[in-house]
């Protein structure tokens, strides 16, 4: 397949969720209309759709409503079991409120509760849609912007002149190369490495894969947050169903909230997601499940969480009780950044759920959307400085075709005995079975062996058309990210936050450290570091 089009731009933004689109908005606001940077936005789906942001409950944790910065910092660190990067948590505390309320400039409104801002929305099911609609409208009306939606980014590579090349496959099956001074990766989280996840299917850790291939370090990859109440009814999506009141029972009719000493179901699903998820998996493992799940008898109350759950229950036509089992929800790990949100490649930035280090070993409810606006605002400031300072010269006219063909060559049509989709499903099942909520050395090693077996066979995957290229690229990213998670999980010989080792069930003071992973020429390298 030949390169059909080359685009030159100041910046390319990969991802159209809250973090990607708000980076553009903040950049324009900060530059006060003085610069109209030429921007290309690339998104796997239609602009803003198929994002976690769209499906979110629109709740932002932040120091408001009698909840001080000190309260916020101490709760975020406690949730993260004290391995968060403290400077980033402080940055969050300082900029949470102003970065969220800055979105009011787009016509959004927020209601205040203690420690929380919630976006006003007429849609009780997906309030996050409100955020997307406002940002979409802004970006669609913005001048000097090219939107490549339904377009898949295969890789980002560095040019010899310091610029970056984003290699895309468009909806029509043509390659487009965006050559820009800045690339912002806003590709979301890694929860979809697990067979049970509530993230949109299209999120396949592409940003994580791209960064690993660029040699950028990932950090805290062993920490995945599972939401305890995930739908486990056959033929229904494994979406979260966050009823805050009701009874969660096992086969014997025992209430798990009472049995495991939680204060209430509502508190457990906000503050103790990891512990409740573990208890549920343990109950199933000892044979107390009902067809491999637990039973939820919800109370139909009208608080923020339950109204969403109630709408979803209605929409999916679920009866009572609802079979539930934890579902992978959020990845705490991601690209390592410095205290100022720079990666180790000039001009390349990560924002939103792709950024590692903020949440430590577990994330506080509502703090993901806040991390999107804070990282976007800070990165926008960095970009402004970069484009008006260090890189204010024009891009070179020629395009580095050799670098580009190194990427596209791998996707040339070929026969093969395997289909990427089958391998993708296998990876997700392997991860769920062996490196899910309850892990131990034996299960993790088994997982790594199985993943390596797939890895050794990926050159036998057939590529015939656009869809095969995308699936193959997704498979590579899922595999690399799964291996990064598994190796980190094996290395951490303790339990902390969302990472639970049945063979090392205690938290160890000696492990107040982070695991950094890099990838070079087919091999992972690990370092244990103090954040
Ligand atoms: C059901 C649900 C409810 C939630 N509720 C809340 C909540 O109320 N509060 C809270 O704090 N957090 C919540 N979260 C978490 C939060 O929504 C996410 O962490 C956050 O929205 C992530 O935003 P993002 O911009 O980083 O990524 P996303 O919004 O996920 O956007 C990712 C973008 O990257 C694009 N992309 C990915 N790969 C490629 C590629 N190869 N090429 C081109 N484009 C690509 C996708 O198309 C998409 O546009 C919730 C999550 C879920 C799933």
Domain ranges (residues) in the chain: 3-195+338-401, 227-327, 410-529
Residue nearest to atom 3 of ligand 1 (CA): 56
14 lines ligand 1 (CB under 6 A): yes
Distance from Cα 45 to the centre of ligand 1, integer Å: 12
Q: Which atom of ligand 1 is least distant from the CA of 329?
A: 53
pLDDT recorded at residue 511: 98
pLDDT recorded at residue 391: 76
- Contact yes or no for 335/343 (Cβ under 8 A): yes
Q: Which atom of ligand 1 is least distant from the CA of 240?
A: 1
326 lines ligand 1 (CB under 6 A): no
52 lines ligand 1 (CB under 6 A): yes
CATH superfamily of 3-195+338-401: FAD/NAD(P)-binding domain (3.50.50.60)
The radius of gyration of the chain's CA atoms, rounded to the nearest angstrom, is 22
| Cβ count near 382 (within 10 Å) | 16
Candidates 353, 466, 360, 386; CA nearest to 420 is 466
57 lines ligand 1 (CB under 6 A): yes
Distance from Cα 277 to the centre of ligand 1, integer Å: 22
Distance from Cα 177 to the centre of ligand 1, integer Å: 24
pLDDT recorded at residue 204: 98
* Regions in the chain scoring below 70 on pLDDT: 1-3
Identify which of 129, 130, 187, 354 to mutate to test ligand 1's pocket (most ligand atoms within 8 A of the CB): 187
Distance from Cα 524 to the centre of ligand 1, integer Å: 27
481 lines ligand 1 (CB under 6 A): no
Candidates 440, 9, 348; CA nearest to 157 is 348
> 147: which strand partners?
41
Domain range 227-327, CATH class:
alpha beta
pLDDT recorded at residue 522: 86
3-state helix/strand/coil string of 118-150: EECCCCCCCCHHHHHHHHHHHHHHCCCEEEECC
* Sheet-wide strand order for 246-249: 224-231, 322-331, 294-298, 246-249
DSSP 2-43: -EEEEEEEEEEEE--SHHHHHHHHHHHHHTTTS----EEEE-
Candidates 351, 23, 354; CA nearest to 199 is 354
Residue nearest to atom 2 of ligand 1 (CA): 56
Give the span between the Cα atoms of 330 and 275, in whole angstroms. Answer: 15
pLDDT recorded at residue 395: 80
375 lines ligand 1 (CB under 6 A): no
Q: Please give the biggest Cα pair distance in the chain.
A: 71
Q: Where are the alpha helices (DSSP H) in 102-232?
A: 128-141, 206-213
- Contact yes or no for 407/153 (Cβ under 8 A): no
Q: CB-hemisphere CA count at 13 Å for 140?
A: 10
- Contact yes or no for 99/373 (Cβ under 8 A): yes
In the CATH scheme, what is the code of domain 410-529? 1.20.58.100
131 lines ligand 1 (CB under 6 A): no
């Amino acid at each position: 397949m030949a390169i059909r089009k080359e685009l030159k731009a100041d910046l390319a933004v990969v991802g159209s969720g809250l973090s990607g689109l708000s980076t553009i908005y903040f950049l324009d606001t900060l530059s006060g209309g003085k610069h109209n940077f030429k921007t290309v936005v690339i998104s796997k789906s239609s602009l803003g759709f198929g994002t976690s942001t769209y499906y979110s409950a629109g709740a932002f944790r932040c120091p408001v409503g009698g909840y001080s910065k000190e309260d916020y910092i101490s709760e975020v660190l406690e949730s993260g079991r004290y391995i968060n990067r403290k400077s980033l948590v402080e940055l969050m505390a300082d900029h949470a409120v102003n970065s969220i309320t800055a979105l009011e400039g787009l016509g959004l409104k927020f209601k205040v509760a203690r420690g929380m801002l919630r976006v006003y929305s007429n849609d009780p099911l997906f309030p996050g849609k409100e955020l997307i609609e406002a940002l979409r409208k802004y970006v669609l009306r913005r001048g000097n912007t090219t939107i490549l939606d339904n377009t898949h980014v295969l890789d980002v590579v560095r040019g010899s002149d310091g610029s970056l090349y984003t290699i895309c496959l468009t909806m029509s099956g043509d390659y487009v190369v965006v050559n820009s001074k800045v690339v912002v990766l806003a590709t979301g989280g890694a929860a979809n490495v697990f067979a049970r996840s509530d993230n949109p299917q299209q999120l396949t850790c592409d940003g994580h894969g791209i960064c690993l291939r660029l040699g950028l370090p990932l950090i805290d990859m062993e920490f995945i947050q599972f939401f305890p109440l995930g739908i486990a009814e056959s033929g229904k999506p494994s979406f979260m169903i966050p009823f805050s009141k009701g009874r969660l029972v096992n086969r014997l009719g025992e209430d798990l909230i009472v049995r495991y000493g939680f204060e209430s179901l509502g508190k457990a699903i906000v503050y103790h997601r990891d512990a409740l998820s573990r208890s549920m998996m343990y109950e199933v493992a000892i044979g107390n499940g009902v067809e491999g799940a637990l039973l939820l008898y919800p109370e139909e109350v009208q608080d923020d969480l339950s109204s969403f759950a109630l709408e979803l229950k209605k929409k999916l036509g679920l009866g009572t009780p609802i079979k539930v089992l934890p579902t992978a929800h959020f990845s705490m790990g991601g690209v390592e950044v410095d205290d100022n949100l720079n990666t180790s490649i000039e001009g390349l930035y990560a924002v939103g759920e792709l950024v590692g280090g903020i949440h430590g070993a577990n994330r506080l409810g509502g703090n993901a959307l806040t991390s999107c606006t804070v990282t976007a605002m800070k990165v926008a400031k960095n970009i402004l400085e970069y484009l008006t300072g260090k890189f204010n010269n024009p891009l070179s006219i020629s395009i580095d075709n050799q670098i580009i063909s190194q990427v596209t060559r791998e996707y040339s049509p070929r026969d093969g005995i395997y289909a990427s989709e089958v391998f993708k499903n296998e990876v997700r099942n392997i991860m769920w079975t062996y490196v899910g909520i309850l892990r131990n050395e034996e299960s993790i090693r088994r997982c790594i062996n199985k993943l390596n077996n797939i890895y050794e066979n990926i050159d036998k995957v057939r590529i015939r058309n656009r869809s095969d290229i995308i699936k193959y690229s997704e498979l590579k990213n899922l595999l690399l990210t799964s291996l990064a998670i598994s190796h980190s999980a094996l290395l951490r010989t303790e339990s902390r936050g969302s990472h639970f080792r049945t063979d090392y069930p205690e938290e160890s003071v000696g492990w107040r450290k982070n695991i950094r992973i890099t990838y070079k020429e087919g091999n992972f390298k690990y370092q244990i570091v103090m954040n």
